[in-house]
Chains A and B, each alone.
Chain A
Amino acid sequence: MATVTHSSKLGNILWPVLAWGVALIFFFPIFWMVFTSFKTDADAVKPEFLFSFTPTLENYTNMAENYDYWRFATNSVITSTFATLFALIVGVPAAYAMAFDPSRHTKDILMWMLSTKMLPAAAVLYPMTFLTKNFLGIFDTHFLVIVVLCLINLPIVIWMLFTYFKEIPKEIIEAGKMDGVSTWGEIKDILIPLAWGGIASTALLTFIFCWNEAYWTVRLTTIDAATLSKLIEGNRAPEGLFFGRLSAVSTAAVAPIVILGWFCQKQLVQGLTFGAVK
């Protein structure tokens, strides 16, 4: 795209400096977390070691025994992966039907789905605890976390897929129908290959939302199915007794998602705009 044409010499220097400055300010907290993770707990709170210190990996090597990191990380991977998968399995056919065979209610259904996302989770916290603990006996299981993560993300999954599918010319799907392809065949052989990019970015974004979710995953688990959000929230050290090890485990908790996000930022943005920003 064309850039501002009347830029002065001064602007040519000042502009990048300003942009870099803002970017570094925004990245600084993350940098600081990673930086602190290489200090011992004792060094981390001493002003004289603010910038110069002997880097150590002990916070990372002790992470397993200090925090039982791997158990929580495994739970995060399992629940986020399966929740994303199930959301897609339910969401793709629904979005397919809405995009290629809309009825006059389609818009209302989509709006209603999005409005379920606005229901305050806290309003149904106790019933959910009550039902899953006393009635269904699935409190603190992977199954429960997967189902809840799947459901809270389903509206967004359907919305995103819908906006991607709408971009596919209807004629392509119609042509498949003429050739007598079954609906399942249409989805599998025509839709999924065509919308692969959209489906992938939907999956990525859902995975990120699942991984970062910090309400249900914290309140519907105790030990067995607890995810990284619960680990961090449960171990926030007051008054900074353990800045070093806390930084290390925090870094380990966000690193997979931040790196994933870096690689896929373009696709993610497109999905997040719900197709409303071209």
Chain B
Amino acid sequence: MSKRTLPRILQTPAVLLLLVWMLVPLSMTLYFSFIRYVLNSTIRPEWTTPALSNWRGFGNYQYVLNAKDFWFAIQNSVFIVSSILVMTVILGLGIAVLINRSFPGRGIVRVLLISPFFVMPAVNGVLWINMILDPVLGLNGLAIAGLNNVIDGLRDFPGLGWFFSMWPKLEPISFRATQTSAYAVIMMVTWQWTPFAVLIFMTSLQSEDESQKEAATLDGASAWSQFINLTVPHLARPIAIVVMIQSIFHLSLYAEIEIVSRGNGNKNLPYLIGEFTSNNIGAASATGIFAVILANIIAIFLLRMVGKSLMD
């Protein structure tokens, strides 16, 4: 056996498995995207089985491009992912700097902070949308009701009551509504993934070159200019990692969207595909191919950004 053969053999199972996993379903999706294929049709029963005779060319793609939800789903996917990324990076940086010095109970603080990352997405969604954000029974509703009660009480205050009677009655925001359900998803995912950003930034901060900082301090550099000129460049790589890993996970966000509003007013691309899949497989597959193209564009960009540093 030559020197090169063995390493190849060892890699083969992994490569083959991933190849099959990627190619078989994907080529089926590609095929379905070019034929008429619906699960229920009483008028055209021949469309309910996949066959080449139902060839539709780019018809499914045209249909999807003209579907009213398609562009919204793409915009919404981008909006959700980028909002989460911006918020987790900013919060993550702030919190990492905050806990990157010793204070009483630092170990416990770290344990408390990391916990949301381990909560399964299904529980995350159920917990936030019911117990916290529900406009009547959740803490959101209870807090607003409580505030209204306090204001109501002040309205009876002798002499000053007229002032408070001019205050508005507060209305809790319903996060299951069309416009707000995306915010609920962004909120819960940010809550879950900020700890991840914190941990990565903290690991990186701890490896920062302290002698450089000390020299800067001796030269009279302020804490702020040290942060901007030394710490931020040092954090470029961890930020790239945080962005890459989170993009992988959030582009396929599904459970949270399903739980918050069943996609009502808040579809992303995976969710739209899921909806098509309940009947129109042709359209679902065409949307799937668009999703693959979008993911590839983002993947190429991200892998370029991170790839170099990973191999050193």
Contact = CB atoms under 8 A, between A and B. Distances in A.
Contacts, number: 316
A236 B284 CA distance: 26
B200 A232 contact: no
Interface stretch (A60-68, A126-134, A194-202): A126-134
Contact of B255 (A5, A215, A276): A215
B172 interface: no
A61 B110 CA distance: 32
B310 A274 contact: yes
Interface of A: 1-7, 15-16, 18-20, 22-24, 26-27, 29-30, 32-33, 36, 45, 47, 50, 90-91, 93-94, 96-98, 100-101, 103, 107, 109-111, 113-128, 130-131, 151, 154-155, 158, 163, 183, 208, 211-212, 214-215, 218, 228-230, 232-233, 236-237, 239-240, 243, 246-247, 250, 253-254, 257-258, 260-262, 265, 268-270, 272-278
B41 to A, nearest CB: 16
Contacts of B24: 127, 131
Which of A36, A122, A262 is packed against the most chain B CB atoms within 10 Å? A122
Given A32-B139, A45-B137, 6 more contacts: A2-B210, A27-B115, A97-B7, A103-B4, A125-B273, A260-B118
B309 interface: yes
Nearest to B202: A269
3 pairs of A and B residues whose beta carbons are closest in the complex: A123-B288, A122-B270, A124-B25
A19 B98 contact: yes
B215 interface: no
A112 to B, nearest CB: 8
Interface stretch (B58-66, B154-162, B178-186, B292-300): B292-300
B26 A119 contact: yes
B48 interface: no
Interface stretch (B82-90, B127-135, B163-171): B127-135
Contacts of B10: 93-94, 96-97, 183
Contacts of B228: none
Given A247-B131, A269-B199, A114 B303 contact: yes
Contacts of B110: 23, 265
B310 A275 contact: yes
B8 A29 contact: no
B25 A128 contact: yes
Contact of B207 (A45, A117, A272, A278): A278
Contacts of B81: none
B115 A26 contact: yes
Interface of B: 3-4, 6-8, 10-11, 13-15, 17-18, 21-22, 24-26, 28-29, 32, 95, 98-106, 108-123, 125-132, 134, 136-139, 142, 145-146, 191, 194-196, 199-200, 202-204, 206-207, 210, 213-214, 217, 223, 237-238, 240-241, 245, 247-248, 251-252, 254-255, 258-259, 269-271, 273-274, 277, 281, 284-285, 287-289, 291-292, 295-296, 298-299, 303, 306-307, 309-311
A1 B206 contact: yes
A228 B213 CA distance: 48
A32 B195 CA distance: 18
A262 B204 CA distance: 20
B254 A215 contact: yes
B250 to A, nearest CB: 11
B139 A120 contact: no
Contacts of A268: 199
Contacts of B21: 116, 151
Given A5-B217, A236-B126, A119 B292 contact: yes
Contacts of B25: 124, 127-128, 131
B28 A130 contact: yes
Given A19-B99, A47-B146, A131-B25, A270 B131 contact: no
